[in-house]
Chain A
Amino acid sequence: MNKNSAFHGTAEQKARLMAVIEESRSTPGCLMHVLQEAQGIYGYLPIEVQTIIAEGLEISLSEVYGVATFYSQFSLNPKGKHRISVCLGTACYVKGSDKILAEVEKQLGIKCGECTEDGLFSIDSCRCVGACGLAPVMMIDEEVYGRLKPEMVKDILNKYRGDNK
């Protein structure tokens, strides 16, 4: 969980989530569906959203959290303005993409799965973007960066920092 990011849910978002809960609550095993919808509404599943779900479905927060952390599709952290995705697929991995990921984490001071405090970047890992010939590869938003070396990461990130100013 990224402790730095404050929750900015709106009343409208909550009303939408409550409507989903209301129509799903009588269906056994509806938790995953509700979590999916909630992620669609909020973009991620922070404690505030999971608490609304737990109270709405009258189940414990621990149960909600267990499901939310089991499936990699669910995110507990908001996504940044720029989404970085480092490929850890086989080809990229043998070409040292773990070191690229480590460098991105170092440069941004956050871990994979987290979002920077200013909301500019979030990091995720992925499995193969279909550019194995360029391994190791990372994507920032829709842009693919290939044949990476750790020392290249800083300059690439700076390009995005620039456009925030």
Chain B
Amino acid sequence: MEKMINLKINGISVTVPEGTTILQAARKAHIEIPTLCFLKDVSCAGSCRMCVVEATGARGLVAACVYPVAEGMEVRTNTEKCRRSRKMTLELFLSKHKKKCLSCERNHNCELQKLSLGYSVDEDRFKGEDFVLPIDLSTPYVVRDNDKCINCMRCVAACRKQHVNAIGPIGRGFNVHIGSAFDRPLADSPCVGCGQCIVACPVGALSENSTVDEVWSALGDSAKKVVFFTAPSIRATLGEAFDMPIGTNVEGKMVAAIRRLNPYAVFNMDVTADLTIMEEASELINRIKTNKPMPMFTSCCPAWIKFVEQTYPEFIPNISTCKSPQQMFGALLKSYWCEKHGIDPKSLYVVSVIPCTAKKYECKREQMKGDVDAAITTRELARMIKTAGIKFNELPDEEFDNPFATASGAGAIFGATGGVMEAALRTAAHMLDGNFEVLDFFAVRGTQPIKEATYLVAGHTLRVAVTSGLENARTLLESIKSGAKKYDFIEIMACPGGCVNGGGQPTLSDSVRNSVELKDARAKALYTSDVHNGLRRSADSPVMDVIYNDYLGFPNSHKAHEILHTSYKENKKI
């Protein structure tokens, strides 16, 4: 049995298992200790000295995030000594911080700012050396402004956790800064664009390369027809930017808000999630029947695709050739929809709202350039809504525009890890065996590192695996390479937990992130909407009938291949 430790925190008795840190124990006493370099599940460097506390038996102040509790220990978290130390630490951080707070995208949502206010710091007490570093604008996914960086290393930890290691600390002492090897631009590094570094950053040093201004220009251009569509997970997270509880499904208000930005139409990307399933399930069956390279990997996640092209190119033949839902939608709008409505595709400006920073790169890939004109993150959409003065919380619920409004619940769960697999299984199993009626594939849900299941459908054994986070993806790929594991179909999402935890999602305060299971809470909104959807299988969506009857013929038809499929190319990076 676990040994339990009794201690007091600010006079309140708590009992916790041995090995617990003071920071964790304090939470049990309902006390929050300020942190900067600590981030639950990501980073615990013990280096920033914000979480210093007084503890009996320790010499001087100790870092609560790494200091283990001891029997009979008495901890004080808010003494004069602690406060003075934290204040000084903050003032030292600020000595070389570019204090351009007014227009900083983390203004009012910045850990450094929040603490500076709390500890009444003098931001000009120490004048550090002016140390102007270039802003890295080399990629469409991550912008780095190192003059705002406080070297907390959370981005480095997030990148290491992904096993990408595109960035790290460079140099020593006052000159330390975070960057890619040889200070090359991020574009030349093995960065996959997942954006986990952005959501880990406590300040405004990292952000997406925003295209909001271009979208505003397009909206103001009478020669352009601007069409928006929103990815499955946006409905589960956008509310957070408007102070709603995590996991609130705001689909109706989201549609209403975008409509008030005055675009030509607002569509539902779940429709092309369904379309992806039609194509992908058919491809899977075709691969099984024709002995093509197996296992087949999903292809919806552009960071995962970039990772394979850079690090595991030997698996390129195993990736489904299906474009992602974002790219399918763009391609379909600029072909089918424009033809049907007599619209010149050149006048159409397609904006996708995505939970992801890698999607900004995906829409610029040479294989499918022009399908989508701008990809904006959940954060960018929230900013547009606020700038336009739209009172989001007061809006009525509205519905997506036809003909791309209705989608199955299978489309909605794309936003959570396991969702694409489950959606594909529902349709593929039914395609193989018309009597297969199972709709819930619980084994592939949840946030365990690697999920496996085996299904027997119409005489075929389908061995499936699902994982998210590139650390787990690497483990899975290595087990396949070594021959230890054999699968038929694998879903991989680059971000831990899938798109609900994407690099483009709202940045929540540390106080929230360190105390809730973000991935689960957000995913729940999607699974709830799936259960309440009358349509559970992509193939049952009436919109699929319309698209195939009107235009594509049948899944994997020649026309479908032309519009909805793509190719990949080795691009080794170290």
Contact = CB atoms under 8 A, between A and B. Distances in A.
Interface of A: 1, 47, 50-51, 54-55, 59-66, 69-72
A61 B183 CA distance: 11
B172 A62 contact: no
B181 A72 contact: no
A66 B170 CA distance: 5
Contacts of A50: 181-182
Given A65-B168, A69-B170, A60 B574 contact: yes
Nearest to B191: A62
B170 A60 contact: no
B418 interface: no
A62 B190 CA distance: 9
A51 B170 contact: no
B269 to A, nearest CB: 34
Interface of B: 164-172, 180-183, 189-190, 574
A72 B574 contact: no
A62 B165 contact: yes
22 contacts: A55-B574, A60-B164, A60-B166, A60-B181, A61-B181, A61-B182, A62-B165, A62-B167, A62-B180, A62-B181, A63-B165, A63-B168, A64-B181, A65-B170, A65-B181, A66-B168, A66-B170, A69-B170, A69-B172, A70-B169, A70-B171, A71-B172
Contacts of B168: 60, 62-63, 65-66
A66 B169 contact: yes
A1 B180 CA distance: 14
B152 to A, nearest CB: 16
Contacts of B574: 51, 54-55, 60-61
B193 to A, nearest CB: 16
Contacts of B169: 66, 70
Contact of B189 (A59, A62, A70): A62
A47 B169 CA distance: 17
A55 B572 CA distance: 12
A51 to B, nearest CB: 6
Nearest to A46: B182
B510 to A, nearest CB: 25
B44 to A, nearest CB: 19
A85 B170 CA distance: 24
A28 to B, nearest CB: 16
A59 B165 contact: yes
A143 B169 CA distance: 37
B133 to A, nearest CB: 15
A70 B172 contact: yes
A137 B443 CA distance: 73
Contacts of A1: 182-183
Contacts of B180: 62
Contact of A69 (B164, B167, B171, B189): B171
A50 B168 CA distance: 15
Contacts of A63: 165, 168
Contacts of A69: 170-172
A71 B173 CA distance: 11
Q: Which 3 A-B pairs have the closest CB atoms?
A: A60-B165, A65-B181, A61-B181
B312 to A, nearest CB: 13
A72 B172 CA distance: 9
Contacts of B171: 69-70
Given A60-B190, A61-B181, A62-B166, 5 more contacts: A55-B574, A60-B181, A62-B168, A69-B170, A71-B172
A61 B310 CA distance: 14
Nearest to A65: B181
Contacts of B165: 59-60, 62-63
A50 B171 CA distance: 15
A64 B574 CA distance: 11
A61 B188 CA distance: 11
Residue from the set B167, B190, B574 with the largest chain A CB neighbour count within 10 Å: B574
A61 B164 CA distance: 11
Contacts of B170: 65-66, 69
